[in-house]
Amino acid sequence: MSSFKDLLVYKKAFSLAMEIFEITKKFPTEEKYSLIDQVRRSSRSVCSNIAEGYRKRRYQAHFVSKISDADMENSETQVWLEFSLKCKYISNEIFSNLTDRSEEIGRLLNHMIEYPGKYS
C-alpha cells in the first residue's frame, strides 16, 4: 500500500464526508456557522487524521495517536448527525444510513489502533 488514499477506511471516511457536505447544503442558512460547520469539519478531520497518521506509521505511538484522533472526530460527527436529526434537518433514514457508515468507519479505525503493526 503506497498511499493513505488506498486505505479502505480513508475511502469510506472521504465518501461519508462528501455526502455530509452535500446533505448540509440543504440545512437552514442560520446553521451555516454552527451545525453545518461543525459536522463538516469533524467529518473531514477523520480523513485528515488518517492521512497524517499513515505518513507517520513507522512510529507506532504517533500512528495510534492520530488514528485515535480520527476515531474521536468520527464520534463527534455522530453527535452532530444526531443534532441534525433532532432538529429535523435530516430524516430517520438518512440519519441511520450516515450513522451506520460512521460506525463501520469506527470499527475500521479501532482495528488500526489495536493492530498498528499491520499498517507499517
The pLDDT of residue 120:
80
Please, how many CA atoms are within 13 Å of residue 65, restricted to the half-sphere of its CB?
8
Position 119 scores a pLDDT of 87
Q: How far apart are CA 108 and CA 83, in angstroms?
A: 24
Residue 112 CB neighbour total at 10 angstroms: 23
Check residue 1 and give its pLDDT.
56
What lies within 8 Å, CB to CB, of 6 at 6+ separation is none
Measure CA 13 to chain center: 5
* Nearest residue to 43 (alpha-carbon basis) of 103, 3, 102, 94: 102
* Residues lower than pLDDT 50 in the chain: none
Q: Please give the domain boundaries of the chain with CATH numbers for all domains.
A: 4-119 (1.20.1440.60)
